[in-house]
Each structure stands twice: as structure tokens, then as C-alpha cells.
Amino acid sequence: KDKVPPNFIKDIIEHDLSTGKHKTVITRFPPEPNGYLHIGHAKSIVLNFGLAEEFGGRCHLRFDDTNPTKEEEEFVESIKEDVRWLGYDWGEHLYFASDYFERLYEYAVELIKRGKAYVCDLSPEEIRQYRGTLTEPGKESPYRNRSVEENLDLFERMRKGEFKEGERVLRAKIDMASGNINMRDPVLYRILHVPHHRTGDKWCIYPTYDFAHCLSDSIEGITHSICTLEFEDHRPLYDWILDELEVPCHPQQIEFARLNLSYTVMSKRKLKELVEKGFVDGWDDPRMPTISGLRRRGIPPSAIREFCKRIGVAKRDSVVDIALLEHCIREELNKTAPRVMGVLRPLKVVIENYPDGKTEELECINNPEDPDQGTRLVPFSKVIYIEETDFMEDPPKKFYRLAPGREVRLRYAYFIKCVDVIKDSSGKVVELRCIYDPETKGGNAPDGRKVKATLHWVSQAHAVDAEVRLYDRLFKDPNPDRGKGGPHFTEFLNPESLVVLKGCKLEPGLANAKVGERYQFERQGYFCLDSKDSRQDQLVFNRIVTLKDTWEK
Ligand code: ATP
Ligand code: MG
Ligand code: MG
């Protein structure tokens, strides 16, 4: 795998290794198992696993499962599958923050003993009011000066389940006048009478993210705890907890800008809404920015890794043009995907002067970008299909493809000329009559005459039928997520994000296509079998991406 391009986090790690601050690098990727991973997570995965790999360290996969109300086992499995598919391996280093509940509880007891935490009886609403605002200092809780003994007793009784949800919390005792609101006696534990997906009914108090995260990092010996910018204001709390507890391992939290993509919504909550309201066919709908959606769409993991490297790592939020992702996909598939011919909207062509019953096997190049992919034989016969859009009865000036009286080249085959047009009773063109020139086999005329277009085709007698799903961007607006006050993001859904074509005609070799293989249908784009809906006798192909690149460097 390629190296991580230079960035400020890599600089910090290189510096820490060269000064001997650390002998090795230990990072972690800490998803909350409350949904499926998306391409934003991929940025974090490529960074955390990529840096660890490059410097010979390791990256832990840690489930940050401290909130029992939203988490499910289903998500744990999908997250593991997605990280593996992206090409990364956590080895033995699979962890769950919930495995640390006992140790975290002991740390909380220690903080109480050190006079740095207290049990507070204010209601959640009162805590909010007492917290103050950016311009106004907070007010101290009347419970702030309870004795250590009373706090220890109450905290133990919280654990035993003697109190109702919201009745009491454990708070850090820091500074209600701090300019950083996160430092105004933040909540460390709350009561939740909710079973946990791994610890069952064992606990009814759960640590907050801020308390659990720094200590989980410390317990695991993480050297660099890389997270997104919204945690920058939490860093003083991260450091405060570790300092007050005087833990032996104090990781460095480093923040970077999260990935935002144009024409996309990224937060799990919004993706969930798309699934639940039926705007898409599940979390793995090929239009979703989820890793499972991208996989089903046919996007190679190497293209996602390359994209994550190209976008770099910065300290300032920005929106990345989705055209760059599409560009990385095309670049990869152009090198690797074998070319085939598939007619998506078939128009029947009878070549009148071609012998009845004859079949020729024509040699076709599998990939002009890669001679090692060799050639294949594709059958040609008297009746073929071409693309409906490659013919016009009354063509405008710039249309160079087939028209009455005009000659074009059939890819790898012959020149044909249209001599007659057959229509049904409604006037729709249903068949073309053509003649071919046997002298033009392979695509050139001995007399040197030129044609202006080369069309793909499929022999009718040999074609395999397929359904083809043409996917496009899910949103028609570059910025569907306008935030508060703006239109709801679903207002910007692209009604043409999925076009289903039935009765497509593909060259016969595609009958043996397998899930995970990707093809270029010449002149159409890149396609793959749909892993969910395709059957041996009813093939379904997804369009991964079209051929036209809109990325401008
Ligand atoms: P969301 O807001 O989409 O629900 P999250 O941050 O709550 O995402 P987590 O499961 O907590 O999701 O994320 C796991 C890791 O992935 C975190 O370290 C988080 O910072 C990182 N991450 C999440 N979204 C992005 C993103 N868009 N770009 C980069 N990293 C991200
Ligand atoms: Mg999170
Ligand atoms: Mg979240």
C-alpha cells in the first residue's frame, strides 16, 4: 500500500519518534456502533491505520460503546467487515470501551477521593441553566461541596440502581467560570436503566464520551489519539482527567478536519433518515456514501484509499468535490477493468447481405491500458443490437453516428450502412436494415474511406439479458445539508438518481460475471454485478460511474 502523504499529524509522529518521546506509534479507530460506516470514517481509518502501518506500529479497532440507548450488535459486525474490506487489519487489537466499565468506575471513585468529582442532584434542565453561556459564567451547583464520604456513598448507590434516571449524575469539579464550557463541571456518569448490548443488565450508570474516551486511550497505551475538529474544545478536559488521575500513559489528542463531500449528507442520523423513510434501499443502497453502499456500487477499496490520501489532512473544515472521488474511481478502473460490450437500450439491426446462420468469432482487446489482460472472442452474426441512441432518422449536424444512408464502423467488426428503417404502428423505429462491407473486417476499408463513428454492438443470437441500474448522485444540489432554518435535506434528492433498464443485451461472456468483478461497458461506463439482487438466470448490473470525468485539477 502507498504511504500516507505528508501532513501535520505525520510530522508530529515523526518528531515524537525522532526525539524518543515514543518508541512506537499506537493509534486507534473508535467508532460508536450506532450505524454503518461512511466515507468520512474511511478518512479516519486510512489515517489511523495508514500511519500505524507506515511507522511499524499498530492501530486498535475500539468500539466506543458507552451509550446503550443507540447501539446494536448488527453495527459491530458491519463495521468490522467494512474496515477489513477497506484493506486494514487490527490483528488481535479489537477492543470495546464497555470492557473497561469496571476500571472506569474505579477511576471515577479515585477522582472522588481526590476531591475532583461530586454527585450532583440538579435535574438535567437545571444543569443546563447553571452552565451559563459563552458570554456569561456558570453558577456553582449547591451539591458541589459534598464531602468525599457522601459522594462515595451516593456514587455507589447510583451504581446499585437506587435512583431513577436523571435524578443524580457524577460531575467533575473543575471551574464554573471557565471560558471553555466543557470545563464547567462536565457530567462524567449518568444513570440509564437500559440494558447494554454487551454488558446486559450489569450496569445502570454509564460514563460519558469525555470520561470514557481519554481513559480508554490511556488504558490501551495509545500514543496519538486522532479525532475530528469538534473535539478541539474537549481537549482541555481530556488532559484534565488524565492529569488529575496521574495515569502512567497520557496520549496526545490531535484534531483534524472531518471530510465533507459535495452532493452528499454524511451524518449517521441523516443517513438513517434516508433509510427509514424509504428514500433508499437500505444502508447499502449503491447511492449511499456508506462503505457498504460504495462496496455494493462496485467502487474498489483502493480507489477510496487513494481518494483519502489525495484529500489530505487539514486543520480547517472544507467541502471536497465529489468529482474527485469519481475521478479516483475512474483512474483505478481505467487501469484494471476489462472492456466488454453491452447494449443498454437495444435497437435491432439486420445485416441483409451477411450470410444466414453464420457466426464469426471476432478477437477483441480486453484492456488497451493493460496488454497483459489479453484478448477474447466475441461472436458476430447477421442480427445484432446497437444502442437506440446511436441512430437518428433525421440527424442534426453534429450527430455522426448511424442514420439512413450513412456508414459507421462496428467495433472489432465491419463497416455497416443503413439502407432501411422499420417502424411500428406508432412510428417508433424498431429495426434497421443495413448492409456490411466484407472488405472492412477489423475496422478499416482497403480503399481508405473513412467513417466518423464506431459503435458497440451485441449479436442477438448470443446475447445475455440483464437488468442494468444506472446510478447517479443521490442529491441534485451540491450542498443539500443547509442546517437549521434551511430547507430539509430530503428536498434536494435527485429524482433521477436511479434509472432501471430492463432487457439490456450483453456480450455472452458476461453470463459468467462474478460479484466483485468490475467491467467497462465500452462507451457507457463502469459496471459490476449487484451483490444483493443479481441471480444466475436474472443478471442485475450496477453502473459504478460513467466515463466522463468532470474533475478539474
Ligand atoms: P457521525 O457524525 O456521522 O455520526 P461520528 O463522529 O459520530 O459520525 P463515530 O462512530 O463516533 O461517528 O466516528 C468514529 C471515528 O470516525 C471518530 O474518530 C470520528 O472522528 C471519525 N469520523 C466520523 N466522521 C468523520 C468524517 N466525516 N471525516 C473524518 N472522520 C470522521
Ligand atoms: Mg462520535
Ligand atoms: Mg455520532
Output the residue whose Cα is nearest ligand 1's atom 10: 31
CA of 78 to the centre of ligand 2 (A): 17
Whether residue 59 has its Cβ less than 6 Å from ligand 1? no
The beta strands (E) that lie in 398-486 are given as: 407-410, 415-423, 429-437, 454-455, 458-459, 464-471
Whether residue 410 has its Cβ less than 6 Å from ligand 1? no
User: Phi, psi (5° rounding) for residue 348?
Assistant: -75, 135
CA of 272 to the centre of ligand 1 (A): 15
Whether residue 268 has its Cβ less than 6 Å from ligand 1? yes
Tens-digit pLDDT string for the chain (553 aa): 678 999 999 999 999 999 999 999 999 999 999 999 999 999 999 999 999 999 999 999 999 999 998 878 889 999 999 999 999 999 999 999 999 999 999 999 999 999 999 999 999 999 999 999 999 999 999 999 999 999 999 999 999 999 999 999 999 999 999 999 999 999 999 999 999 999 999 999 999 999 999 999 999 999 999 999 999 999 999 999 999 999 999 999 999 999 999 999 999 999 999 999 999 999 999 999 999 999 999 999 999 999 999 999 999 999 999 999 999 999 999 999 999 999 999 999 999 999 999 999 999 999 999 999 999 999 999 999 999 999 999 999 999 999 999 999 999 999 999 999 999 999 999 999 999 999 999 999 999 999 999 999 999 999 999 999 999 999 999 999 998 889 999 999 999 999 999 999 999 999 999 999 999 999 999 999 999 999 999 999 999 999 999 888 7
Instruction: For residue 186, count CB atoms less than 10 angstroms from its CB and return exposed for 0-12, middle for 13-18, buried for 19 or more.
Output: buried
Q: Which of 28, 32, 44 to mutate to test the pocket of ligand 1 (most atoms within 8 A of CB)?
A: 44
| Positions marked active-site | 32, 258, 268
The confidence score (pLDDT) of residue 13 equals 98
Please give the Cα distance from 47 to 291 (Å, whole number): 16
Distance of CA 21 to the CA centre of its chain: 35
Whether residue 33 has its Cβ less than 6 Å from ligand 1? no
C-alpha cell at 42: 474511511
The confidence score (pLDDT) of residue 1 equals 63
CA end-to-end span of the chain, whole Å?
24
Element (H, E) at 190: strand 187-191
Whether residue 31 has its Cβ less than 6 Å from ligand 1? yes
CATH no. for 8-256:
3.40.50.620
**Fold entry, domain 261-296+319-338+466-545:** Ribosomal Protein L25; Chain P (2.40.240)
User: Are the C-beta atoms of residues 124 and 145 closer than 8 Å to each other?
Assistant: no
CA of 516 to the centre of ligand 3 (A): 30
User: Are the C-beta atoms of residues 87 and 291 closer than 8 Å to each other?
Assistant: no
Q: Which ligand is nearest to the CA of 270?
A: 1
CA of 65 to the centre of ligand 1 (A): 14
Output the residue whose Cα is nearest ligand 1's atom 23: 41
Query: Domain ranges in the chain?
Result: 8-256, 261-296+319-338+466-545, 342-456
Question: Rg of the Cα trace of the chain?
Answer: 31
Whether residue 300 has its Cβ less than 6 Å from ligand 1? no
Whether residue 510 has its Cβ less than 6 Å from ligand 1? no
Residue listed under C-alpha cell 423513510: 277
- Best CA proximity match to 102, nearest among 159, 28, 34, 151: 159
The confidence score (pLDDT) of residue 2 equals 74
Whether residue 28 has its Cβ less than 6 Å from ligand 1? no
Record the pTM. Answer: 0.95
CA of 48 to the centre of ligand 3 (A): 18
Please give the Cα distance from 247 to 366 (Å, whole number): 60
If you ran DSSP here, which 8-state letter would residue 224 be given? E
Report the side by side order of strands in the sheet with 205-207. 117-120, 169-172, 187-191, 205-207
The confidence score (pLDDT) of residue 484 equals 87
C-alpha cell at 181: 464550557
Helix 235-245 and helix 209-219, axial crossing angle in degrees, nearest 10: 60
Q: Which of 228, 274, 283 to mutate to test the pocket of ligand 1 (most atoms within 8 A of CB)?
A: 228
User: Are the C-beta atoms of residues 289 and 38 closer than 8 Å to each other?
Assistant: yes
C-alpha cell at 517: 468483478
Residue 387 bridge partners (DSSP): 346
C-alpha cell at 367: 484492456
β-strand pairing of 518-521 with 525-529:
antiparallel
Element (H, E) at 110: helix 101-113
CA of 31 to the centre of ligand 2 (A): 7
CA of 33 to the centre of ligand 3 (A): 9
- Best CA proximity match to 456, nearest among 405, 525, 368, 517: 525
Whether residue 259 has its Cβ less than 6 Å from ligand 1? yes
Helix 209-219 and helix 101-113, axial crossing angle in degrees, nearest 10: 110
Residue listed under C-alpha cell 468469432: 361
Whether residue 32 has its Cβ less than 6 Å from ligand 1? yes
β-strand pairing of 58-63 with 94-96:
parallel
Instruction: For residue 247, count CB atoms less than 10 angstroms from its CB and return exposed for 0-12, middle for 13-18, buried for 19 or more.
Output: middle
Output the residue whose Cα is nearest ligand 1's atom 21: 41
Domains 261-296+319-338+466-545 and 342-456 alike in fold: yes
C-alpha cell at 467: 437488468
Q: Which of 7, 34, 37, 41 to mutate to test the pocket of ligand 1 (most atoms within 8 A of CB)?
A: 41
Element (H, E) at 157: helix 148-160
Q: Which ligand is nearest to the CA of 269?
A: 1
Q: Which ligand is nearest to the CA of 40?
A: 1
- Best CA proximity match to 31, nearest among 321, 296, 291: 291
Q: Which ligand is nearest to the CA of 272?
A: 1
**Fold entry, domain 342-456:** Ribosomal Protein L25; Chain P (2.40.240)
Whether residue 234 has its Cβ less than 6 Å from ligand 1? no
The confidence score (pLDDT) of residue 326 equals 97
Please give the Cα distance from 493 to 484 (Å, whole number): 18
Please give the Cα distance from 486 to 484 (Å, whole number): 6
Q: How far is CA 486 from CA 272, 399, 478, in A?
A: 20, 43, 14
CA of 44 to the centre of ligand 2 (A): 12
